[in-house]
Structure 1
Amino acid sequence: MPIRHSIIHLIDKKPDGSPSVLHVRDCELPDSQARDNLLTDLNEAYNAKPGKAWGLFHEESGAYPLSGWLRDYLDGKQDFVAFSCVAVEHLQKLMEESNLTVGGHAMFTHYQQGMTDYLAIALLHHSDGVTITEDLEVVPAKHLDLTQLHLAARINLSEWRNNPNSRQYISFLKGKGGRRVYDYFRDFIGCQEGIDAPGETRTLLKAFSDFVESEDLPEESAREKTNTLVGYATSQAKLGEPISLEELAALVDEDRPAAFYDFIRNKDYGMSPVFPADKRTLTQFKRFTGRTDGLSISFDAGLLGNKVEFDQARNQLVIHQVPQQLADQIKRAGASA
């Protein structure tokens, strides 16, 4: 993961409401293993965070100037240090106006992963701890705490520059404290949400359930394909990479690599061919399956308590809204009896 440029500034803002103080670094971070390790750890922490939003830049304006500064940097009109300085000054201004944050170290890193260029922007914080000196004394110490990563964004520069129709080249964290906490950071990036990752993931899982039902797969095969889907999507989320429907379809059915993709396209689920996975939605996905004495039952866990009820005392399942195809078959069988 080669780093092209990286720098860290400090916005020193106390929780007492006093004005923040900006400490600007005047040169890039030098090449070092510590710098490289920090980016690796930051990416891992960022990828592991649930609840990301995905989108694209607003049109450049006085309210959303970052994309213009970034374009000037990439076009060689200003260097990386100058870009980061004007950007962090704007971040400080918005932070002051929000009056919600205690500052932090603002890290800007332009790096390459594979053939793709990214810009990572994150507000880093420290936690208090202790350490042991060479003299075996216990002394206070601060350490970078990436578990406290709440304000961060990653811009796929290659996608932004080469695919003008893309609506998902920016991702940013949606903070736990509600929209007011991260709104100013989203406005600093100048990002508007362009794709609904939870919604796309839910649609994918619905399409997969429909596909399994239409194929009338044996229980073991259905379970295996479910594990393949969840494993692939979870792995992509951990890597910070999107789901590719064509790639997923080839994994779900190696003998017919286009079957699932064609099913989705022909049924017109309205899904993007490539989209980010939502980890929270994936963790909630599970299928219950069972087969005995000529009876086969399979349904999504999300239907339990809604369309499917389990009476534990009687060991019975109650199914509401029976699939129309099944209902028609039963009606025809009853009429001919």
Structure 2
Amino acid sequence: WQRGESRQYITYVQDRGNKKLVEAFRQWLGCQEGVNAGAETRTLLKAFSDYVESEDLPEEASREKTDTLIDYANAQAKRGEPITLDELSELVDEQQPKAFYDYIRNQDYGLAAEIPPDKRTLQQFKRFAGRASGVSISFDSHLLGNSIEYDDERDRLIIKQVPGQLKDQIKQRGH
């Protein structure tokens, strides 16, 4: 920490209404908060979703990779250890152990090599799934409100960014 090799040693637990007091205390101590675990975990999950989407994976493979990420992140949180991007990348794709890591670096998400896992953010990263009358739909919960919208009044689900594989199949049928 003193050598400046990590930003993960100082964090504050604060009341919602006491920003001025926390800021004054921070200045008095002469330090600054290094990492926002919730924001870092959200960025990692966004990067992961973008990666899975860019790979245009079948639903089963996408679900497996998501489960792998969540299982690993939760295990690290229980141990009180950070999520290591190298290790996560190897777990997500054993055939191409560097693929996810390289994707994150090339897209420049601004993530450190190690991320403190935030349990609350991980719990929110779940999938919605449903099946009826020959239709099967599942998607990561964080996509709701972004690329997927639910219209409660009309009982419609609107998909803004149709997966490439699905789009190709629909076009081949002539619709």
Indicate the TM-score class for this superposition, using the shorter chain for normalisation: 0.7 to 0.9
Q: Distance in 2 between matches of 1:233 and 1:267?
A: 21
Query: Alpha-carbon deviation of 1:194?
Result: 2.0
SS in 1 for 2:33: strand
2:51 and 2:103 in contact (8 A); partners too: yes
1:192 deviates by 0.6
1:171 aligns with: 10
Instruction: Provide closer, same or farther for how the CA distance between residues 164 and 310 of structure 1 changes in structure 2, counting only shifts above 3 A.
Output: closer
Secondary structure, aligned partner of 2:128: strand
> Aligned residue for 1:219?
59
Q: Which of 123, 131, 148 matches 1:283?
A: 123
Question: Gaps (5+ residues) in structure 2?
Answer: none
Which whole-Å CA distance do the structure 1 matches of 2:105 and 2:138 have between them?
24
1:204 has 2:33 as partner: no
Q: Is the partner of 1:282 in helix, strand or coil?
A: helix
Higher-Rg structure is: 1
Please say if residues 11 and 34 of structure 2, whose CA atoms lie closer than 8 Å, have aligned partners that are also in contact. Answer: no
- Whole-angstrom CA distance in 1 between matches of 2:12 and 2:110: 25
Distance 1:294 1:177 in 2: 47
Q: Which has the higher helix share?
A: 2
> Paired residue for 1:252?
92
Shift of 1:261: 0.9
Matched residues in 1 for 2:33 and 2:10: separation? 9
TM-score (norm. length: structure 2): 0.74
Backbone CA RMSD of aligned residues: 3.4
Structure 1 residue 174, shift from structure 2 partner? 1.0
Q: Which residue of 2 aligns with 1:40?
A: none
1:262 aligns with 2:91: no
Whole-angstrom distance in 2 between the partners of 1:294 and 1:261: 37
Q: Where does structure 1 lack aligned partners over 5 or more consecutive residues?
A: 1-159
Alpha-carbon displacement from aligned partner over 1:150-202 (angstroms, at most 9, x marks no partner): xxxxxxxxxx25x433222x234413454369737656764311223222211
The superposition leaves residues 47-88 of structure 1 with CA deviations (integer Å, 9 ceiling, x where unpaired) of xxxxxxxxxxxxxxxxxxxxxxxxxxxxxxxxxxxxxxxxxx
Which of these residues, 114, 131, 142, is aligned with residue 302 of structure 1?
Answer: 142
Corresponding residue of 2:112 = 272
Using the size of structure 1 for normalisation, the TM-score is 0.42
Q: 1:289 to 1:266 in 2, by over 3 A?
A: farther
Q: How many residues align?
A: 169
Deviations 1:94-143 (A, max 9, x none): xxxxxxxxxxxxxxxxxxxxxxxxxxxxxxxxxxxxxxxxxxxxxxxxxx
Equivalent position of 1:195 in the other structure: 35
Tell me, what secondary structure is at the counterpart of 1:256? Answer: coil
CA contact (8 A) 2:127 2:141 kept: yes
Look up the SS of the partner of 1:310 in the other structure.
Answer: strand
Partner secondary structure for residue 125 of structure 2: coil
CA–CA separation in structure 2 for the residues paired with 1:235 and 1:298: 25
Over 3 Å counting, the alpha-carbon distance change for 1:253 and 1:292 in structure 2 is farther
Cα distance change of structure 1 residues 179 and 218 upon mapping to structure 2, 3 Å threshold: same
Q: What amino acid does structure 2 have at the position aligned with 1:175?
A: Q
Q: 1:217 and 1:293, CA in 2 relative to 1: closer, same or farther beyond 3 A?
A: farther
